[in-house]
Structure 1
Amino acid sequence: MSSGRENINSRVEENVAIVSLNRPERLNAMDTETMKGLYEIVDQMAKRTDVSSIILTGEGRAFSSGSDAKEYLTMTLYDYINHQIIGNRLYQLIEEVDKPVIAAVNGYALGGGFELALACDLIVASKNARFGFPEIRIGLSPGGGFRKLLGNVGPYKLKELLWTGEFLTAEELYRAGVINRVVEPENLLDEAKALANSVVGAWVAVKNVKRVINETMARIFSHRDSTEAFLTSLLFNTEDGKEGLKAFIEKRSPRMKGR
């Protein structure tokens, strides 16, 4: 089994599986092994007959700050491409699970962490949650799934979001129809469980509704293909990409050259 499972907590409460990223010291950043571990546990929960819904969340003050940039420093281009493929397989698994998957977002959901939340069927967020794609700040771009936002925020706001790396609040995304509930931080899991339990138990119908909606979204926005992973892999090998990562680790502003 992947050692990444050590970075995941999981339990089942009254037919609801609660799966938590557990790297609070890294704001639940997902290195390659953690993504593998999360895939294994979500897949396991999806197959359990005593589990009707799955909640994804994070320990500490973040849902997930995205991919672990420190790991990027040791990666070859092949390693980076593989990392993107594993991430996209994880998001696809969540989209294809024939049970409701709910993101309970506490704190930061950035980059791949935002995409992880977007892969879920429903999102409950605490009032202090912040969402964004900061990859541009280190010369990269998101690796998969951000096109889902096109139907909510539109192409103009999405370009601004991706080009500036700005963060959005839970309330802003609620108004855009991306988030289902905005709640007090101390009520986050209770509200997510209540939402899970409110789903009518006609599971064959639930599964089919999920499939129809997701397949329609895929046809309209092509939200799950290899384009994002391919493009960010090209950026990983640019001068700006290498400088951005180095500057991030050194906690300084990057000196971008546009090449």
Structure 2
Amino acid sequence: MSLINYTSHNHVAEILIDNPPVNALTETLLDDYISALHKAAADDDVRAVIVSSAVPGRFCAGLDLRAIHLGQSKVTDLLERLYRQMTDAQHALNKPSIAAVNGTARGGGMTMSISCDVIIASDQSTFGYPEIDAGVLPSIHFSHLPKIIGKHRAFELLFSGRSFGPEEAKELGLVSHIVPADQLMTAARELAQVFCAKPRDVMRLGRQAFKAAGDPDHRAAVSAAVDNFCHVASGPDAQEGFAAFAQKRKPKWNQA
């Protein structure tokens, strides 16, 4: 059974993450999500894409740390999918994508949302980069987040691990619109139709140029992020962080 619900109507593909209870990112989920992006890219009838969640109050909690701790998933395999294959699929989508964030977005969920071209958030959404509290680093965000919100605010968010609400996300420039939760998909569909009404080839070429201008060193940044994350994830702090998460306790860091 797919962990992604894919539908298409009125020239818009809707990709909903469906891995309750928190939409944790597994290899299977990421494979399904990447396949959905490729499907939308290959469909000439699709002119815009909406990414959201089928789980109420949860957009995506990030990598499945419990599976990593239990040896059911390898960090390298997850990052290959999340950092390389998913971001490559988004770059090659050739049509605008909208993240409709309906609840909690953390870690890898931030990666999924920010890889889209626009983020619309419900008034009940929350955001955050908690990787530091699991003994790892949100390496992929080191490249693009300072460009969006400035290096000092980016450092504070990335290294404090704190969560923040939609109002702060909008003030920082991460979110374009905040809407009531029951109006989120309506707002996303209305914006998608605005994009659909524009000349298709001009939108395609314009998006390619926009992506290239905004992140000309994309592949180098992704490779550096993978290497950095994997290096840190192999250390004792990360192993303690994964174990603490799986055992639902506070980590005991080695401060010697």
Regarding TM over 0.5, the answer is: yes
Give the Cα separation in 2 of the matches to 1:250 and 1:128. 28
Secondary structure of the equivalent of 1:24? coil
In 1, Cα distance between the equivalents of 2:44 and 2:218? 33
What secondary structure, in the 3-state scheme, does the structure 2 residue paired with 1:6 have?
coil
User: CA deviation digits over 1:50-99, x for unaligned, max 9?
Assistant: 2111100012211111111111113499x321221111211221132101
Structure 1 gaps, min length 5: none
Gaps of 5+ in 2: none
> What is the deviation of 1:152?
2.4
Structure-2 residue corresponding to 1:231: 228
Residues 168-177 or 117-126, more deviating: 168-177
Structure 1 CA distance for aligned equivalents of residues 160 and 66 of structure 2: 22
> Which deviations, in whole Å up to 9, do the C-alpha atoms of 1:160-208 show, x marking residues without a partner?
1111111121111212222111100000000000001012421111112
- Pairing of 1:88-237 with structure 2 (within 5 A): 88=83, 89-199=85-195, 200-219=197-216, 224-237=221-234
Normalising by structure 2, what TM-score? Answer: 0.93
Where 2:62 maps in the other structure, the secondary structure is coil
Matched residue, 1:22: 18
1:249 aligns with 2:235: no
Determine the C-alpha separation between the residues in 2 that align with 1:194 and 1:36.
28
Equivalence map 1:81-92=2 (5 Å): 81-88=76-83, 89-92=85-88
Give SS of 1:230's match.
helix
> Quick one: distance in 2 between partners of 1:151 and 1:145?
10
CA contact (8 A) 2:49 2:97 kept: yes
In the aligned structure 2, how far is the partner of 1:220 from the partner of 1:90?
Answer: 16
1:59 to 54, 62, 65: 54
CA distance in structure 2 between the partners assigned to 1:170 and 1:64 by the alignment: 15
Identity of aligned residues (%): 25
> Would the alpha carbon gap of residues 98 and 229 (structure 1) be closer, same or farther in structure 2, given more than 3 Å must change?
same
User: Would the alpha carbon gap of residues 145 and 174 (structure 1) be closer, same or farther in structure 2, given more than 3 Å must change?
Assistant: same
Which shows bigger deviation, 161-170 or 113-122? 161-170
Q: Is the 8 Å Cα contact of residues 32 and 83 (structure 1) preserved in structure 2?
A: yes
Letter in 1 for 2:32: G
